[in-house]
Structure formats: structure tokens, C-alpha cells
Copies of this chain bind each other. A is one copy, B any other.
Amino acid sequence: MQPTVKDLLLSGARLTDAALERLLPATDTLPHSIHRAMRHSTFAGGKRLRPILCMEAARMVAGTGTYPEGIADLGAALEMLHTYSLIHDDLPALDNDDLRRGQPTAHVVFGEATAILAGDALQTLAFQTIAGLPISSPTTVAILRDISLAIGTGVGRVGDLDTKLPPGMIGGQVMDIEAEGTAPTAALVEAIHRSKTGALITTSIVSGGLYGLSLRHRSSSSGYSNDEPTETKASRAAYAPYADTIARLRTFGEKAGLAFQIVDDVLDMTQSSEELGKTAGKDTATTKATWPAVFGIDQSLHDAEELIADAFAALAPFGEAAAPLKSLAQYLVERKN
């Protein structure tokens, strides 16, 4: 019997939380204030969607039916990056949000200085966690490259696996700020969504796939040679046979990520603050560039459904093994908060 999406969400969140609990310094580690702030925002009730997508992509690609050993640490690193972006996004100088996931935001509880540094430290800890993943070094480097490209400002200049990447997460935040007060166009809203939230969701799935592939790779006899090539060559050589798999995961992530953000925009317009756990109607109040602002709510929901269909199509060759990722994608557009 296939597990329900609720099962997947619960078990994935539990694994992620256990990894975060282990990886984040304890609140009694000096200096106290920043570790309290890091934990406050990390354990404020997030759904762990990015880690869960990462773990399911790894499981699907590894073909073993179980989560690959250590994958929760990669999931935790992605959640740290997501949390860092939220802490900084909520700062008074940016979105000035006092409430997130039903909790007061970090700067409200710990002050701006500590909130800024806690975000910085979560980014750093994510990369430290990646450095400690129990996988081969070429895979670690490939994951490092994909994730760092996804959360930066622009198209990568350093041997990217895919040159058609949109600007990264920070680039999306800047575009979002720059767009405030201007009339949003469809192209701009799509660019912001693809980068601000889509890029991290996509790399969650792609990095999970790279992680899962490294296990298949290890057990196959067609291992790449290891006469100390440059890392770029090594990573490329290692993943060349899997280019189609990576491209399909990327397409799935891009489509599902955009659908997710469109639904987020719609929920912001239609749900109360209590239902959302954050300040509702904020996007409208500040004339943010959102999908329903350009296309209306009905068209937005239709677009989200179509994107999910495209996302499903990308996973067709994986057959039954794709069921968990597909049910998660379906959940992304049907959720109510």
C-alpha cells in the first residue's frame, strides 16, 4: 500500500527535525543569544517541504525504496537555508514582518542585530553541513555547486551543470523589492517566483537526486576514473550518464516550485492571518508582484494545476517510484496554508 501524503509529510518532517536537532548548536552553547535565535526560527513550525522533496527525490533515484543514509542532513541544510532567507526577509528593512508560522519573528524576540547574524550563521551552518555529508567528494562538490547557484543573485559563472538557470533566491528577493510600487507584469512576476522560491525548491530536488545517484553510482562498476581530475571534470564525468535524470528532476522542481508559489499568493489573498500563521493580505497591502494580481485568482489556480501536470510528465520514466514526489506536488497546490 502506498503511504498517504500525510504519512510522507509526517515521517519526512520527523527525520528532518531529528537532523536539525543534532546539527544546530544547543541553546546553552556560547554565545547563547544567536543559538537561541537560530533554533527559535528553525523550530517555529515549518512544514519541511524542501527537505521532504529532497529526501523523496533521493529515494526515487536511488531505487532502493528506502531513504539513503545521511540524506536527512542534506534536507536539514536546505531547511537552514530556507530559514535564513525567512529571517532576513522578515527584517524591518525588508518585509518588516512580525509574525511567521504563527510565531513572533526572530528580530522581534532577539533584536535586529542577532536576527541578522542568526540568518548569516544558518547560511554558514548549511554549507558546513554539506561539507560533512557521508558521500563521495565529487558528489558533495556537485551538490555544493547546485545549491550555491540556486541561492545566489544571478546565473552562475562557475561551471554550472545547466546554463538555463534563472537568477537565484537572493536575486529574486532583490527583484521583489525593486518591483514594489510598480505595476507587475507577467514576465516579472514569473522571474521573481522562479528565483525567489522556485530556485531553492528546485535545488532541493536536484541535490537530493545527486545524492541518490551517488549511491547507484557507487554500486555500479562503471565508476568514473579518479586520477585526480579537476573537480569540475570529475563532477561532470560522474553525472554525465545521468544528465537526463537531473534534467527531469530540474523540470519537475521548476514546475512544482512555481505552482507552489502561485498557490501561496492565492492563499495570501483568500485566507485569514490565523489560518496562514502569518500576516494575511500583506502582498496586496504593499502592492507586491503576485500571480493573482496579474492573472486573477481563477486563472492562477488553473495555471497551478497545469504546472503540476507538466511536473508529473517530467517524472513519467520513473513509473511507480515517482508516486511519493507526485503526491507531494499535488499537495502543494491543494493545501490550505
Contact = CB atoms under 8 A, between A and B. Distances in A.
Interface of A: 22-23, 25, 29-31, 33-35, 38, 84, 88, 91, 93-94, 111-114, 116-117, 119-121, 123-125, 127-138, 140-141, 144-145, 148-149, 151-154, 156-159, 167-168, 170-171, 173-175, 177-178, 218, 223, 226, 228-232, 234-235
Contacts of A29: 153-154
A152 B128 contact: yes
What number of copies of this chain does the assembly contain?
2
A314 to B, nearest CB: 26
Contacts of A116: 88, 91, 93-94, 116
A38 B123 CA distance: 18
B88 A117 contact: yes
Given A88-B116, A136-B228, A234-B137, A25 B154 contact: yes
Nearest to A215: B228
A168 B156 CA distance: 28
Nearest to A175: B31
Contacts of A93: 111-113, 116
Nearest to A146: B131
Given A148-B131, A153-B31, A137 B235 contact: yes
Contacts of A127: 127, 144, 148
A85 to B, nearest CB: 8
B170 A34 contact: yes
Nearest to A96: B113
